[in-house]
């Protein structure tokens, strides 16, 4: 993995700064602060992987700055010729990771930079092995590139069919960046349009009917951590404008309040719809798209990485309290399936394998579970008998469910294409999904 780190050097001596810059240059970008005031300002506003600070900054002491560096989540290394044991102890107590002598710094500092890189890479690989299950070479390469980025305060836009692991990827980025802070998740498609502003920005008591008490919004709750906005394509245009303003200014007003609230966070957004198509139809703001898509990542559908199916089946077998065995012929059938619901569909299928039968999954079990082909059934009742036996609402609901399932099957799980074929709004589509608890 090519090093790509962001450094801040806090050092009042010009030649010492130049020396440190030369040492750090191969590992990434370097910023500098020659005095305590500028150092404090850059620590508060900047985004760094590692801050390297001296203890003596002219007449000022840099010891107390260590606490602020650590509080901001930066890896702190003290580099000093001052070797008082009391000062060294205080530096470590405040959270400094290393206290290095300026003697032979050119040989010693790279050792600790490499330790930092190795620890971050090991953490990322562990997360990949334990949580984001894949052996797909191109996907792994893209994921590892994500692991090289300093995500603090950045934005990531994840696209891809539903069920491919967009939420899991957002969680992975959060764990890499600031696992000690909040990860705040909001699925925009699950919130009514008239309540979305309150969910995002919060509200004051009495701001509207039903606002019986003050509520903090998702942006405030995510301050210092990660905000994950799922299905962002469903956000109405009026709300898109307000979100863009809040992201640009890093402040917002809760509903019913005239007092601004400040919030800074890593932003992760995701959608299974094509935002470029929505922008062409003037349903999604282009300026908001460019604001949220600082970095872009597309997750391939499961049918394009069949080599992961066996790996995922074994993973879900281990998660099941009731173990089951899958015969080779059954596994071959699973690899041939199109998986319109992607990983989520495969997980639900494995849960059904666990819950039913004798615990041995053969070809017949796969065919029956996946409905490939659909076994012969008795002729369906005509519409009159179904309406007057079950009621008109039940009949209409069954038609909606079958239509959405068939549209998703025909379009390989792609939501935008399915909505277009059905000629319904995205809100109506998601309503049907929620009412019938359809797994995509």
Tokens of 388: 């007057």
Per-residue pLDDT at 184: 96
Confidence of residue 427 (pLDDT cuts 50, 70, 90): confident
The full length of the chain comes to: 440
Per-residue pLDDT at 49: 87
Pairing of strands 75-80, 98-101: parallel
What fold, for 304-370?
Helicase, Ruva Protein; domain 3 (1.10.8)
Per-residue pLDDT at 58: 67
Per-residue pLDDT at 45: 82
Exposed, middle or buried by CB within 10 Å (0-12, 13-18, 19+), for 41? exposed
Per-residue pLDDT at 3: 57
| Model confidence at 382: pLDDT above 70 | no
Confidence of residue 373 (pLDDT cuts 50, 70, 90): low
| Model confidence at 380: pLDDT above 70 | no
Exposed, middle or buried by CB within 10 Å (0-12, 13-18, 19+), for 56? middle
* Alpha-helical runs (H) found in 46-99: 65-71, 85-94
Cβ(68)–Cβ(51) below 8 Å = no
165: left (phi over 0), alpha (psi -120 to 50) or beta: left
Shortest CA distance to 239 belongs to which of 203, 299, 196? 196
3-state helix, strand, coil in the chain (%, to 5): 50, 15, 35
- Alpha-carbon span 264 to 241, nearest angstrom: 18
Q: What is the DSSP string of 202-261?
A: EE-TTSSTT--S-EE-HHHHTTTSEEEEESGGGS-HHHHHHHHHHHHHSEE--BT--S-E
- Per-chain mean pLDDT for the chain: 87
Per-residue pLDDT at 210: 82
Q: Pick the residue with more confidence: 120 or 287?
A: 287
- Alpha-carbon span 432 to 429, nearest angstrom: 5
- Do the domains 5-119 and 133-298 sit in the same CATH topology, yes or no? yes
Confidence of residue 151 (pLDDT cuts 50, 70, 90): confident
pLDDT tens digit sequence for 168-219: 999 988 887 777 788 999 999 999 888 999 999 999 988 888 888 999 999 9
| Model confidence at 155: pLDDT above 70 | yes
pLDDT tens digit sequence for 267-311: 999 999 999 999 999 999 999 999 999 899 999 999 999 889 999
CA distances to 182, 247, 249, 280 from 287, in Å: 27, 12, 14, 13
The CATH number assigned to the domain with range 5-119 reads 3.40.50.2300
| Helix/strand/coil for 184 | strand
Average pLDDT over residues 359-368: 88
Tokens of 48: 């760094």
The CATH number assigned to the domain with range 133-298 reads 3.40.50.300
Tokens of 24: 């750090």
| Model confidence at 81: pLDDT above 90 | no
Cβ(265)–Cβ(218) below 8 Å = no
Q: What percent of the chain has pLDDT over 70?
A: 94
Per-residue pLDDT at 376: 46
Per-residue pLDDT at 434: 78
Per-residue pLDDT at 408: 82
pLDDT tens digit sequence for 239-260: 999 999 999 999 999 999 999 9
What are the E-state strand segments in 341-425? 360-361
Q: Which residues pair with 304 in a beta bridge?
A: none
Q: Which of 70-84, 234-248, 316-330 has maximum average pLDDT?
A: 234-248
User: What does residue 216 show for φ and ψ, rounded to 5 degrees?
Assistant: -80, 140
C-beta neighbour count of 48 within 10 angstroms? 24
Cβ(139)–Cβ(305) below 8 Å = yes
Q: Pick the residue with more confidence: 222 or 123?
A: 222
| Model confidence at 378: pLDDT above 60 | no
CA distances to 9, 38, 105, 197 from 22, in Å: 12, 21, 11, 49
| Model confidence at 377: pLDDT above 50 | no
Cα radius of gyration rounded to whole Å, the chain: 27
- Alpha-carbon span 408 to 332, nearest angstrom: 23
| Model confidence at 31: pLDDT above 80 | yes
| Model confidence at 379: pLDDT above 60 | no
Rounded to two decimals, the pTM is 0.68
pLDDT tens digit sequence for 221-236: 999 899 999 999 999 9
Per-residue pLDDT at 440: 61
Per-residue pLDDT at 1: 45
51 sits in which H/E element: strand 50-53
Average pLDDT over residues 389-403: 81
Q: For residue 213, what are the contacts with CB-CB under 8 A and spacing of at least 6? A: 205
| Model confidence at 319: pLDDT above 70 | yes
Q: Which residues pair with 29 in a beta bridge?
A: 6
The full set of domain ranges for the chain reads 5-119, 133-298, 304-370, 383-436
Per-residue pLDDT at 439: 61
- Alpha-carbon span 1 to 117, nearest angstrom: 9
User: What does residue 356 show for φ and ψ, rounded to 5 degrees?
Assistant: -120, 170
Cβ(120)–Cβ(147) below 8 Å = yes
Per-residue pLDDT at 433: 80
Pairing of strands 28-33, 183-187: unpaired
């Amino acid at each position: 993995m090519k090093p790509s780190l962001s450094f801040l050097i806090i050092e009042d001596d010009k030649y010492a700064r130049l020396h440190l810059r030369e040492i750090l240059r191969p590992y990434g970008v370097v910023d500098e602060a020659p005095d305590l005031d500028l150092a404090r300002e850059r620590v508060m506003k900047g985004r760094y992987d590692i801050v390297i600070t001296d203890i003596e900054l002219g007449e000022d002491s840099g010891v107390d700055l260590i606490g602020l560096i650590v509080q901001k989540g930066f890896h702190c290394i003290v580099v000093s010729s001052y070797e008082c044991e009391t000062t060294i102890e205080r530096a470590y107590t405040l959270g400094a990771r290393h206290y290095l002598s300026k003697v032979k710094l050119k040989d010693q500092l790279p050792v600790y930079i490499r330790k930092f890189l190795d620890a971050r890479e090991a953490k990322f690989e562990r997360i990949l092995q334990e949580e984001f299950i894949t052996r797909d070479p191109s996907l792994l390469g893209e994921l590892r590139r994500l692991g090289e980025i300093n995500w603090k305060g950045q934005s990531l836009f994840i696209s891809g069919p539903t069920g491919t692991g967009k939420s899991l990827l957002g969680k992975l980025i959060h764990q890499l960046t600031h696992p000690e802070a909040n990860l705040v998740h909001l699925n925009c498609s699950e919130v009514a349009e008239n309540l979305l502003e309150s969910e995002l920005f919060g509200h004051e008591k009495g701001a509207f009917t039903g606002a019986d008490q003050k509520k903090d919004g998702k942006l405030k709750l995510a301050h210092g951590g990660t905000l994950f906005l799922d299905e962002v394509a469903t956000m109405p245009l009026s709300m898109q404008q307000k979100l863009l303003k809040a992201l640009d200014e890093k402040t917002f007003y809760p509903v019913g309040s005239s007092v601004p609230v400040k919030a800074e966070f890593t932003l992760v957004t995701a959608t299974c719809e094509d935002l470029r198509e929505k922008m062409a139809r003037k349903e999604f703001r282009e300026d908001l798209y460019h604001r949220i898509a600082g970095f872009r990542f597309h997750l391939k559908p499961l049918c394009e990485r069949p080599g992961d199916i066996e790996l995922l089946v074994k993973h879900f077998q281990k998660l099941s309290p009731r173990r089951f065995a899958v015969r080779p012929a059954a596994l071959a059938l699973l690899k041939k399936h199109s998986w319109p619901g992607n990983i989520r569909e495969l997980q639900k299928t494995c849960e059904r394998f666990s819950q039913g039968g004798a615990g041995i999954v053969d070809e017949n079990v796969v065919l029956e579970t996946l409905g490939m082909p659909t076994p012969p059934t008795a002729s369906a009742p005509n519409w009159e008998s179904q309406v007057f036996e079950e009621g008109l609402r039940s009949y209409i609901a069954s038609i909606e469910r079958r239509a959405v399932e068939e549209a998703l099957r025909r379009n390989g799980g792609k939501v935008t294409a399915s909505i277009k074929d059905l000629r319904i709004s995205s809100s109506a589509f998601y309503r049907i999904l929620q009412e019938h608890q359809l797994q995509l």
